[in-house]
C-alpha cells in the first residue's frame, strides 16, 4: 500500500529570509492562499517572535487558511513558544515548530552549551509547547553534522517528550544522498520509539543536492518533506518542492508513495511566488523554467512531433503549463519548420520547403531564435523585401526641464516619409516612447512585457531591452541594444514595427493570390 508524503512549505519563513525586502501582510496572504490552493499540507507562515510585522501577518493568515495546517517557528525559549501559540490561536488546527542546534559545532560555538544541556532544553521546551497543542515538530538543527549516536538519543527523547514530528535538517547542504539516507536508515534501525513520530527532512541546496537528499530520505522512511516553491531560501536555497512533488509523481511506483498536491496548480503557484517575491526563475529551472518543455535540437523536435514521450517525461499540461515549445534555431530541422507552418495553417504545397529552410538557416545563424511570424515572412516574400525595413529611427531626444517635465521627441522614417512627434510628461519615459511609436505607426499595439538588461546601477547605462508586444492577438518580440537604455527600448519597438509591417505584406500577398486563384476558377 502506498504511503502519503506530507508536504511542508516554508516559503513564507525560510524563503522570505532570503529576500532583499520583507513581504507585507497582503503579499504573504497571497502566497499562503496560493499554497493552500495547491493543497500543501502544512504551511510554515513565519517566526512570530522575530518582529511585530511577522506576528501580525501570522494572525491574519490564521484567519483565512481553512484546509492547510498552519505552523510557526520557535526557538527553545518560552516566550518564543508563547508568541507562536498566540499568533495562531484563531486557527483550530496549528503546529508549533521548535528547533535547536545538535551538532558539536552549533552546541559549542553558537550556543555555548554541552550536549546534556541541549537535550534537557529540547525536552522541556516540547513539554511546555504541549500546553498549546499536541502537534509539535522538533528540528535537530545541523543534524547531518551531528554524531549519529547523539542524534539517535535526542530523537528518542524528544519523541518521548511528545514531539509528533521529528525533523532531520541538512542545514548547510553538507550531505550527499548516500550519506543522508544512511542517517535516516540508522534512525529507523536504532531509535526504539521511531514509529511514534513522523520523520521529516529539511535539506538545503549548497552542493546542489537538496532534492536528491530529500528523495533518498523518502526511500529510507522519511514521510514529510520540507522545502519551498522554486527552491527559494537561505544561501543556495531550499529543496524545490515542485521538483520533489513531480519526482514522486513520475516515480510513484518505485518510491511507493504519493502526495495530495493538485499538480495542475504547480506552474501557476510557481509564477505567483516568483512575481510576489521578485525572484527570477532561471529558464533552465527543472519543472517550472521557461525552457523546461522547450526543444531546440532538430532530432529532439522530430521525435517530439512523432511522439511527445520520446523526449518528455512530464506532460506540460499536467502541471498547468500550456504546452511544449519547439524553438526554431539553427539546430532545428525541416520537420520543425513543417510543423510550425502547419500550426499556422499552411499546407506544404503552399511554400517551397527547401527555399524556406535555406532562408531560415541564414536568419537563425544571424539572430538565434526565429519566431513563427518570421518563418511565415521568409516563406512568402523574397529576401530583398525581407531585408528592407519600413520603419527606421532618424533621431530622438529626451530633455529634462527644471520644472520636472520631461520632453520626449522622436523622429522616425516610415518608408519615404519622416514623422516627428513630441510628448511632454513628468513620469513614464518608456510609456511616452511607446505612445509616440504607436501613433507614428498608426498601429494599435499593446506592450505586454519589457525586460531591461543594464550594466551598473543606473538605468541609463548601456544595455539591452527585450519587449513582447501584442498586435491583433499575435505576439511579436523585439530586441534593441545601445549605449543608452532608452534608445535600446526605441530600437526594440521599431524591430517589432518592421516585423508587423512584413507580416502585413504577407497577409496582403496571400489575399491577392487567393483572389487571383478565385478569378481563374
Whether CATH 3.90.950.10 fits 3-277 = no
Query: Predicted confidence band at 294 (pLDDT cuts at 50, 70, 90)?
Result: confident
**Residue entry with cell 520520446:** 310
Statement: the pTM of the whole predicted model exceeds 0.85: no
pLDDT at position 351 is 87
* pLDDT above 80: residue 499: yes
Compute CA distances 82 → 21, 22, 72, 117, 344, whole Å: 27, 23, 11, 21, 63
Q: Which of 163-177, 226-240, 301-315 has the lowest mean pLDDT?
A: 301-315
Q: Which of 247-261, 416-430, 483-497 has the lowest mean pLDDT?
A: 416-430
pLDDT single digits (tens) 346-370? 888 888 999 898 888 988 888 888 8
104-110 long-range contacts, Cβ below 8 Å, gap at least 24?
104/145, 104/146, 104/147, 105/142, 105/145, 106/141, 106/142
pLDDT at position 254 is 95
Average pLDDT over residues 219-242: 96
Considering the domain 391-508, what is its CATH architecture? 2-Layer Sandwich (3.30)
pLDDT at position 19 is 86
| Nearest CA-CA partner of 167 in 44, 1, 254 | 44
pLDDT single digits (tens) 86-131? 999 999 889 999 999 999 999 999 999 999 999 999 999 999 999 9
- Strand, helix or coil at 60? helix
Check residues 331 and 256 and name the one with the higher pLDDT: 256
Give domain limits for the chain.
Answer: 3-277, 294-370, 391-508
pLDDT at position 465 is 92
pLDDT single digits (tens) 134-153? 999 999 999 999 999 999 99
* pLDDT above 80: residue 461: no
466 close to 478: Cβ distance less than 8 angstroms: yes
pLDDT single digits (tens) 43-63? 999 999 999 999 999 999 999
C-alpha cell at 231: 527552491
pLDDT > 90 fraction of the chain, expressed in percent and rounded: 65
Rounded Cα distance, 400 and 151, in Å: 66
Amino acid at each position: 500500500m502506498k504511503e502519503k508524503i506530507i508536504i511542508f512549505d516554508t516559503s513564507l519563513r525560510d524563503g522570505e529570509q532570503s529576500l532583499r525586502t520583507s513581504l507585507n501582510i497582503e503579499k504573504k496572504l497571497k502566497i499562503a492562499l496560493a499554497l493552500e490552493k495547491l493543497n500543501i499540507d502544512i504551511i510554515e507562515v513565519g517566526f512570530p517572535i522575530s518582529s511585530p510585522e511577522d506576528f501580525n501577518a501570522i494572525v491574519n493568515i490564521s484567519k483565512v487558511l481553512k484546509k492547510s495546517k498552519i505552523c510557526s517557528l520557535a526557538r527553545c525559549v518560552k516566550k518564543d513558544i508563547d508568541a507562536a501559540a498566540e499568533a495562531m490561536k484563531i486557527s483550530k488546527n496549528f503546529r508549533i515548530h521548535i528547533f535547536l542546534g545538535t551538532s558539536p559545532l552549533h552546541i559549542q560555538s553558537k550556543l555555548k552549551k554541552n550536549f546534556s544541556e541541549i537535550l534537557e532544553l529540547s525536552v522541556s521546551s516540547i513539554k511546555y509547547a504541549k500546553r498549546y497543542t499536541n502537534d509539535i515538530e522538533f528540528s535537530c538543527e545541523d543534524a547531518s553534522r551531528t554524531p549519529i549516536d547523539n542524534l539517535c538519543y535526542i530523537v528518542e527523547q524528544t519523541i518521548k517528550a511528545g514531539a509528533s514530528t521529528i525533523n532531520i535538517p541538512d542545514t548547510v547542504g553538507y550531505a550527499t544522498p548516500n550519506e543522508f539516507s544512511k542517517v535516516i536508515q540508522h534512525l529507523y534501525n536504532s531509535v526504539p520509539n521511531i514509529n511514534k513520530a513522523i520523520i521529516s527532512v529539511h535539506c538545503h541546496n549548497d552542493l546542489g543536492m537538496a532534492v536528491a537528499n530529500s528523495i533518498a530520505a523518502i526511500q529510507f522512511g522519511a514521510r514529510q518533506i520540507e522545502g519551498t516553491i522554486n527552491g527559494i531560501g537561505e544561501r543556495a536555497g531550499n529543496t524545490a518542492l515542485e521538483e520533489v512533488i513531480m519526482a514522486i509523481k513520475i516515480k510513484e511506483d518505485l518510491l511507493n508513495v504519493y502526495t495530495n498536491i493538485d499538480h495542475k496548480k504547480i506552474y501557476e503557484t510557481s509564477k505567483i511566488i516568483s512575481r510576489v517575491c521578485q525572484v527570477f526563475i532561471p529558464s533552465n529551472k527543472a519543472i517550472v523554467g521557461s525552457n523546461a518543455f522547450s526543444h531546440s535540437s532538430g532530432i529532439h523536435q522530430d521525435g517530439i512531433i512523432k511522439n511527445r514521450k520520446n523526449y518528455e517525461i512530464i506532460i506540460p499540461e499536467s502541471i498547468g503549463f500550456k504546452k511544449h515549445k519547439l524553438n526554431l534555431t539553427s539546430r532545428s530541422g525541416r520537420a520543425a519548420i513543417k510543423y510550425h507552418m502547419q500550426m499556422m495553417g499552411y499546407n506544404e504545397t503552399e511554400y517551397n520547403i527547401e527555399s524556406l529552410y535555406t532562408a531560415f538557416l541564414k536568419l537563425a545563424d544571424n539572430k538565434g531564435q526565429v519566431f513563427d511570424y518570421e518563418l511565415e515572412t521568409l516563406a512568402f516574400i523574397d529576401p530583398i523585401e525581407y531585408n528592407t525595413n519600413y520603419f527606421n529611427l532618424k533621431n530622438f531626444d529626451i530633455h529634462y526641464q527644471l520644472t520636472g517635465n520631461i520632453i520626449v521627441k522622436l523622429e522616425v522614417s516610415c518608408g519615404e516619409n519622416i514623422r516627428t512627434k513630441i510628448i511632454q510628461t513628468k513620469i513614464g519615459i518608456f510609456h511616452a516612447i511607446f505612445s509616440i511609436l504607436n501613433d507614428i505607426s498608426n498601429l494599435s499595439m499593446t506592450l505586454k512585457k519589457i525586460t531591461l538588461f543594464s550594466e551598473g546601477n543606473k538605468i541609463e547605462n548601456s544595455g539591452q531591452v527585450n519587449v513582447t508586444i501584442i498586435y491583433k492577438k499575435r505576439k511579436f518580440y523585439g530586441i534593441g541594444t545601445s549605449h543608452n537604455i532608452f534608445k535600446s527600448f526605441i530600437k526594440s519597438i521599431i524591430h517589432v514595427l518592421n516585423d508587423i509591417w512584413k507580416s502585413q505584406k504577407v497577409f496582403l500577398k496571400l489575399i491577392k493570390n487567393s483572389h487571383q486563384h478565385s478569378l481563374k476558377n
